[in-house]
Amino acid sequence: MARPKSEDKRNAILAAATEVIAEQGLGAPTARIAKVAGVAEGTLFTYFETKDELLNQLYLDIKSNMREVMMAGYPKTASIRNRTHHVWGKYVEWGVANPEKRRAMAALGASDRLSEQTRAAGMHAFADVNAMMHASVASGVLRDHPPAFVAAIMGALAETTMDFIEREPAQAEQYREAGFDVFWHAVAQVEG
């Protein structure tokens, strides 16, 4: 009879995968991930049948963590600018606080090893933000760019902002606000 799976072991494997992928990229061997997790490589494959399954689950795990931070206190009834500012600030906060998750997410996001279902589930986690973006374009507040393009602009500017905050933490607030201003002016048609 198979032993029940442990949530602690699963979480240890995901944490180790985050660390190792942030350090070595997606080519990191599963043996190294298992060693960092403190489990046998066979145990890793008890929890995740393939490396691709591990990578897809890791992506969803990091997206879930990111969503928890970004959507905490999300001001659903505030102006579009204030809601966008909230999302921006929380995303930058998350990235600075979680550099390994940020690097692992960058590698995972650029990978062809994620399934379309996984990518869709990751986007669905941010349904409130996506709905706000669509409504903002329809109302004329945001320029009529594809939401994926706006998200890519936000991601690139946020990454730059996070890099500067990591180098000069004393200037964190200045960089966070300057980054948001550049982003807002790139995507907004009107002050909203």
- Between CA 51 and CA 5 the distance in angstroms is 18
Task: Kindly give the residue spans of alpha helices, DSSP state H, lying in 26-146.
Answer: 30-37, 41-47, 51-71, 80-97, 99-109, 116-124, 127-139
171: left (phi over 0), alpha (psi -120 to 50) or beta: alpha
- Predicted confidence (pLDDT) per residue in 136-181, tens digit: 877 778 788 877 788 889 999 999 999 999 999 999 999 999 999 9
Which pair of tokens denotes residue 95?
């990235």
pTM: 0.88
pLDDT band for 192, please (50, 70, 90 cuts): very low
For residue 39, give the amino acid letter.
V
Q: Which CATH superfamily is domain 73-187 in?
A: Tetracycline Repressor, domain 2 (1.10.357.10)
For residue 85, give the amino acid letter.
H
- CA 69 to chain centroid, in Å, comes to 10
CA angle, 98 then 102 then 103, to 5°: 120
Cβ proximity of 24 and 32 under 8 Å: yes
Q: Which residues contact 24 (CB under 8 A, 6 or more apart)?
A: 32
